[in-house]
Amino acid sequence: MHISCMQENLAKGVSAVSRIVGVRSTLPILSNMLLSTDKGRLKIAGTDLEIALVVFIGAKVEKEGSITVPARLLADFVSSNQDKTINLLVENTQITAKSDHVTAHLHGLDAEDFPLIPDVTSDESYQIKPSDLKEVINQVVFATALDETRPVLTGVLCVIHGSTLTLVATDSYRLAERTIPLMKPAPKDVSCIIPARTLSEVGRLLELSLESVTLTIAQTQVSFSFGNCTLISRILEGTYPDYEQIIPKKATTTAQVSIGALQSALKLASSFSRDISHNIRIVFIPDSPTTISATSANMGDTSNTVEGTTTGETLEIACNAKFILDILAVMPGDSVTIKCAGKVSPLMLIPSSRVDYRTLVMPLKLDD
């Protein structure tokens, strides 16, 4: 293989792929990335056997060929190289990288031994607007569970229905659900559970200037294709819990407050409850400001009020401020509507101006 390409393009591709490549793999070749020429372009691929990323970049191909090289080393080398173009020459399992000021020899491994990236083939694929997808990933993925006791909860439920895509995540303490439109109606309704990490990577790689993202869902694999990238991931096995049943249908207390004001009030209160897992109390009183307070046996206490409009019954509820702050950080618009049906039922937070985003936070139990 002999090619030359722009440092800027190579750096972008190599650093994106090196994020996917596993650091601690038992098999040495899994810490390598594959470089190979493909129809006048350079194909860069990496995998940890759960996710695979393939990136194509423009290159001047002198001689076809392929090799695998240590991912971290190549990424570091290319990103700190200041020269404009880089020349890559492969001889056996050694690659020589040459540019105006730098020469390097990297020891690689035979491309023959690199895992094959599975194809995701399905009759159906769906087109999504990149800005929509980026936003929905941002608004939902944070609510997935980190611990693996219930593997399905470490993933995001992805439901295609008619001309909409709905993503849902919950760790059983909070839940986030967002619906976005597809660019054209889907011929068939499907659903699958995608690992949270897959979506985070997609969110990171997505550039808003792109035209569309193609989502393909096959039996066991899912792929996202956009621009010159294709990300392939396994689908999580299992049945997602029927989350609809826990979304409260009616509320006894409804409050509408400014997101910014609520955020600062919660941050203030939660600094007093850092040692008791951000446990704070909120009191809603009809036609009065909302009170947010926190008491710590070690540090002291605080109480502050937030202006807003409250209707329904008076309600005192305790919850983890961090859960609410996580949600408010990604909540669109200026104002949030909070609905609740009692101090042991979940707190529902939705943007005041739209209906496509719903979040829930479970309360803490009050002792009294």
Contact residues for another protein (CB under 8 A)?
25-28, 30, 47, 49-50, 52, 115-118, 146-148, 150-151, 153, 170-173, 175, 219-221, 234, 237, 239, 241-243, 246, 275-277, 279, 318, 320, 322-323, 344, 346, 360, 362-365
- By beta-carbon proximity to another protein, the closer residue of 320 and 337 is 320
- Is 325:270 a contact under the CB 8 Å cutoff? yes
Across 116-143, b (16+ Cβ under 10 Å) vs e yields ebeebeeeeebebbbebbbbbbebbbbb
Q: Which of 68, 76, 78 is nearest to 47 (CA)?
A: 68
> Helix, strand or coil for residue 84?
coil
Residue 234 CB, shortest distance to another protein, in Å, is 5
**Contact (Cβ atoms closer than 8 angstroms) between residue 261 and residue 88:** no
Nearer to another protein, 129 or 274 (CB): 274
Query: What H or E segment, with its residue span, contains residue 281?
Result: strand 279-284
Kindly state the smallest distance separating residue 96's Cβ from another protein, in Å: 27
Provide, rounded to whole angstroms, the least separation between the CB of residue 368 and another protein: 12
**Rounded least distance, CB 207 to another protein, Å:** 27
Q: Provide, rounded to whole angstroms, the least separation between the CB of residue 231 and another protein.
A: 14
Q: In the complex, what is the shortest distance from the CB of residue 309 to another protein, in angstroms, rounded to a whole number?
A: 27
Closer residue to another protein (CB): 27 or 102: 27
What stretches of the chain show up as alpha helix (H) in DSSP? 7-20, 71-80, 130-140, 196-205, 259-270, 321-330
Nearer to another protein, 208 or 297 (CB): 297
For another protein, give the closer residue by CB, 108 or 363. 363
Of 153 and 182, which has the nearer Cβ to another protein?
153
State in angstroms the smallest separation of the CB of 27 from another protein: 4
CB closer to another protein out of 81 and 170: 170
Give Cβ neighbours of residue 263 (< 8 Å, ≥ 6 apart).
Answer: 325, 328, 329
Q: Which residues contact 97 (CB under 8 A, 6 or more apart)?
A: 77, 78, 86, 87, 88, 103, 104, 105, 106
Q: With beta carbons less than 8 A apart as the criterion, state whether 268 and 293 touch.
A: no
CB of 229 to another protein, least distance (A): 18
Length of the chain equals: 368
Q: Which is nearer to another protein, 116 or 355 (CB)?
A: 116
Alpha-carbon separation of residue 313 from 251, 280, 324, 350, 351 (angstroms): 10, 20, 21, 19, 21
